[in-house]
Copies of this chain bind each other. A is one copy, B any other.
């Protein structure tokens, strides 16, 4: 999917919501555990109930890997279901991968070709030759960790290299990578006050923003400091939406939560 197509969907749906599909079998409604594939059954119900309210879905691969082969099967079925039924949706493999060149190419093939995700999240620590293999894929997007929403972000990301914090160095250096136009960045909503300076460095790049809701980030602050001409924001919510209810009405409850966020977003657009 091109960035223009994503922006067009955002305008049409008046939403820049991304829903995180982080499925924990201890948290889904019990009746689903009878299904052949409870994880996929849960995702399918959530997707069918919320697809008109969001523009992106983001499964975090950890939650699938934790269930071994059946977890990977559920992930493959989920992305295939999305691509077949809702091709207008932007899909994000939240995998936080990154390795030396030939190995990154293997990861890129896994997520962009084998599973046909539109994008994947990548850790920047190993630098240029760990990122560029992902950037080489046309109309695919590499979402680089810049400033994450967790407390550990202060261990290294906000420490100063010369004049700049490490996360700003990541923004600046990555802009020089080949096919850098395919880059997006993760910036946590819990650090909304950093967004103004981030926009000075990358005025138009899309930002994937986790941390609104459960982690304490604020939607209005993120938009105030982070919104770009092309919107440039994907606000992720996972637990706050998908676990809105543990009863048989879980999908409708998720849709209600998503609708609340979509209404707030429409007002901010």
- List residues of A whose CB falls within 8 A of some B CB: 22, 24, 60, 62-63, 65-69, 72-73, 76, 96-101, 103-104, 106-107, 109-110, 114-115, 123-131, 145, 148-157, 159-162, 166, 169-170, 173
Query: Known pairs A69-B76, A100-B152, A160-B161. 18 more at Cβ < 8 A?
Result: A24-B106, A63-B103, A67-B114, A68-B72, A68-B115, A96-B97, A100-B149, A101-B150, A123-B123, A123-B125, A125-B125, A126-B152, A126-B153, A127-B151, A127-B156, A156-B166, A159-B162, A166-B166
CB of A176, distance to nearest CB on chain B (Å)? 10
Q: Are B123 and A151 in contact (CB under 8 A)?
A: no
Contact A66/B156 with A129-B150, A149-B100, A150-B126 known, Cβ cut-off 8 Å: no
Chain B residue contacts of A156, Cβ below 8 A: 124-125, 127, 161, 166, 169-170, 173
A157–B125 CB distance below 8 A = yes
The 4 tightest CB contacts between A and B, nearest first, are A127-B152, A127-B155, A62-B106, A65-B110
Q: How far is the CA of A173 from the CA of B100 in the complex (A)?
A: 24
CB distance from A207 to the nearest CB of B (A): 17
A60 & B170 in contact (Cβ 8 Å cutoff): no
Chain B residues whose CB sits within 8 angstroms of the CB of A114 once the complex forms: 66-68
Given contacts A125-B123, A170-B156, contact A150 B100 (CB under 8 A): yes
23 CB contacts below 8 A, A to B, read A60-B99, A62-B104, A62-B106, A62-B107, A62-B110, A66-B106, A66-B109, A69-B72, A96-B123, A100-B149, A100-B152, A101-B150, A124-B125, A124-B155, A126-B157, A127-B152, A127-B153, A127-B157, A128-B152, A129-B152, A131-B152, A156-B173, A161-B166
Min CB gap A40→B, angstroms: 14
Are the C-beta atoms of B155 and A128 separated by less than 8 Å? yes
